Structure 1
Amino acid sequence: MTLHAVARTAGVSPATASRALNGTTRVREDLRARVLEAADLLGYIPNAHAQALASASSNTVGVICHDVSDPYFAAIASGVMRAAAERGLLVMLASTFREPAREIAYVSALRAQRARAILLIGSGFEDRAWERAMSTELEGYLRGGGRVAAVSRHRSLRVDTVLPENRAGAAELARALLALGHREFAVLSGPPALTTVADRLAGFRGALAEAGVPLPAGQVVGGAFTREGGYAAAHELLARGVRPTCVFAVTDVMAVGALAAFRERGLRVPEDISLAGFDDIPLVQDLSPPLTTVSLPLTLMGRSVIALALRESRGRRSRVERIGGEVVLRASTAPPSPSAERTPS
């Protein structure tokens, strides 16, 4: 079914029918009603690409995250999608799998498709080449009327940002674990190029230093920001002969993997070793034992980032909305037991 058929049925010109359907130009209400009635009768579906070209913007919001299978990103994306649905917007979701070049390519593609807004969900990269390339893409998109907002990044990108207090949250967690009596710590860390990893590790290490508790480099083990990464990092930690009373995984999904690794080595959590994470993804309350973590309002963060991107009064200055985390002590952490046998089998 074509636009010309809709125009003939409604008794208007094709140009009037087009304007009535895309809503970019004022059309008399009686004519608009006739066109919409004809379109409904004929089952006409407007060409979204043509409408985007006509209006210089589509009703699509692009969401670019590291990995939508990660519950952290899934929860934030859920908030975005709910808020977008309330505004009659379509969400296009893409995962970069933490590949900087892929992220830039997705921004370029959304820019070419004239997406109404682009949301960057997840940590930025400590990479000057990436910063320059991403800034170039975003500046061109913004000059063309596009809107951009981010979650949990970007020291160099001048865009509206929902910023979790990663450093402060990790520091508060360290203080809570110190208050339980722990003095021997290890950290399962993610890729050092990610700003979130750098901030959480720095906050945790800084709070320990304030209490006079060292965190030697050999007790920080890197791994992928995944369940498998946490599992491998925990095994590596034990293989090094490190005997902490408490382990901090910089993200909950890594902590889930670590919990499995400790069990395989015959270690009980928290009797032999305490374990804590960060984010409070939904599943950690159902673990056995439930995970101590820093709770972030993930769904709310999704709603907040799309609201920032679509806000009317933008001006020239970007806005930063800071989101605090709350330490939640659960059964995976307990005071260290002097008599506990922590040597892995």
Structure 2
Amino acid sequence: MVTIKEIAKAVGVSSATVSRVLNYDPALSISPAKRQAVIETAEALNYATPRSRKGLASLSLAPLPLARFAIVHFLQSTEELADPYYIGVRLGIEARCREIKAEIAKIYHADMAADPQVLQSVSGTIVIGKQSNDVIDWLAAQGRPLVFADFLPPYERFDGVHCDLPRATADMLDALEAAGYRRIAFIGSHEHLNGETQLYGERRCRAYIDWMTAHDLFDPSLLVLGDFCNNGQNLRLEAGYALAQQVLALQPRPDIVMTANDNMAIGAYRAIREAGLRIPEDIAVISFNDIPVAQFLTPPLSSLRIQGEYIGESAVDLMIERLAGRSYTKTVTIPSAMSWRESCRAPG
């Protein structure tokens, strides 16, 4: 049986680091390349966690004989490495598949249509992230059950797992109002789906507009969006930097800026510092995803944690239920958790 120590030796990291990577510890600070090396080495050596070695005694779901699932990712493999959140979703899927002894075939967006026989050879397909209607139709045409993770398709016949981002955004804004913030800016990107650009279609952005309007606080100048596709860490860092510069030029300046994700927040931090301003004294920052690096910024970043690993695990559970005979559609909502840190005031 392969041990954590052997994986650590092969990758050149400590055993503690391997353990924290394989358990997706959100507090671990490690480069995306090193994290991926640990994951791939563990997979290559067929490592089984202590949790999975206990078998299925603690599971209410029975194992499926010779089950094999495909994971279809809306990002490319290099893009996924830049986003710890989506790594967490995939790791959650893989962990649950190991528990039920199911094999996995990984298909990233660039390779999706290359060999449809792969999708036709599996028991079911778990799809990560947003997909166009054309892609959803193509996947459904392969004749296998589909479950969507971190995306709810516009068709009621498919199961899905997601975080209710509009509600989470509204809850965050309620908390900011309770903490005394009124002039709240939002930076993010337009929604790109089905070959179209929806100017205000992204869920966090739409929820921000609705909440600010309902509370008679909406100022169009505080909503600053860029035409950026949601892939590539560097693109989002640069987007956050550029958009934050526009926000900082406003007079009067906002009390706080809400960024659509933590990578954009990192870019905003740089723009704020270059402007000679302090966080949170001159302008506060709050964000989404709560990636591991968020707590190590100066000051540590307040961010909404979206439980990616639980989304992945629940997607596998939905697939098992489907294959066991469930005929109706089910949607599962995984709650988020706010991590309040020093980048802004916390309510109460």
| Superposition TM-score, scaled by structure 1 size | 0.68
Question: Match of 1:213?
Answer: 217
Q: Which digits, 9 at most, give the CA deviation of each residue in 1:78-112, with x for residues without a partner?
A: 1111112223333343443xxxxx58636946425
Shift of 1:273: 0.8
- The 1:287/1:109 distance shift into structure 2, 3 A limit, reads farther
Q: How much does 1:173 deviate? A: 0.6
TM, length-normalised to structure 2: 0.67
Q: Which consecutive unaligned segments of at least 5 residues does structure 2 have?
A: 1-65, 231-235
What are the within-5 Å matches in structure 2 for residues 66-85 of structure 1? Answer: 66=75, 67-69=79-81, 70-85=83-98
Q: In the alignment, is the contact (CA less than 8 A) between 1:188 and 1:223 conserved in 2?
A: no
TM-fit CA distance, 1:58: 6.9
8 Å contact kept, 2:72–2:128: yes
C-alpha distance in structure 1 between counterparts of 2:325 and 2:221, whole Å: 44
Match of 1:156 among 154, 158, 173: 154
CA RMSD of aligned residues (A): 2.8
Aligned match for 2:334, one of 313, 323, 331:
323
1:329 alignment partner AA:
W
Amino acid at match of 1:188: I
Q: Say whether the 8 Å CA contact 2:140–2:146 is kept in structure 1.
A: no
Counterpart CA distance in 2 for 1:197 and 1:274 is 25
Q: 1:103 to 1:213 in 2, by over 3 A?
A: farther
Residue of structure 1 in register with 2:130 after alignment: 123
Matches within 5 A, 1:110-149: 110-112=118-120, 114-124=121-131, 130-131=132-133, 133-141=134-142, 144=143, 146-149=144-147
Unpaired runs of at least 5, structure 1? 1-56, 97-101, 125-129, 336-345
Per the TM alignment, residue 244 of structure 1 is displaced from its structure 2 partner at its CA by: 1.0
Counterpart Cα distance in 2 of 1:95 and 1:242: 45
Looking at both structures, which has the greater relative contact order when contacts are Cα pairs under 8 Å and sequence separation is at least 6?
A: 2
- Structure 2 match to 1:61: 70
3-state SS in 1 of match to 2:343 = coil
Task: Give distance in 1, aligned partners of 2:316 and 2:332.
Answer: 12
Amino acid at match of 1:138: L
Deviation at 1:217, TM superposition (A): 5.0
1:278 aligns with 2:288: yes
| Cα distance change, pair 82–289 in 1 and its aligned pair in 2 (3 A) | same
Shift of 1:314: 4.2
Partner of 1:36: none
SS in 1 for 2:73: strand
Work out the number of aligned pairs and report it: 264
Secondary structure of 2:309's aligned partner = helix
* Partner amino acid, structure 2, of 1:257: G
Q: How does 1:145-224 map to 2 (within 5 A)?
A: 146-157=144-155, 158-193=157-192, 198-216=202-220, 219-222=223-226, 224=228
Identity over aligned pairs, percent: 25
User: Does the 8 Å CA contact 2:301/2:341 hold for their aligned counterparts?
Assistant: yes
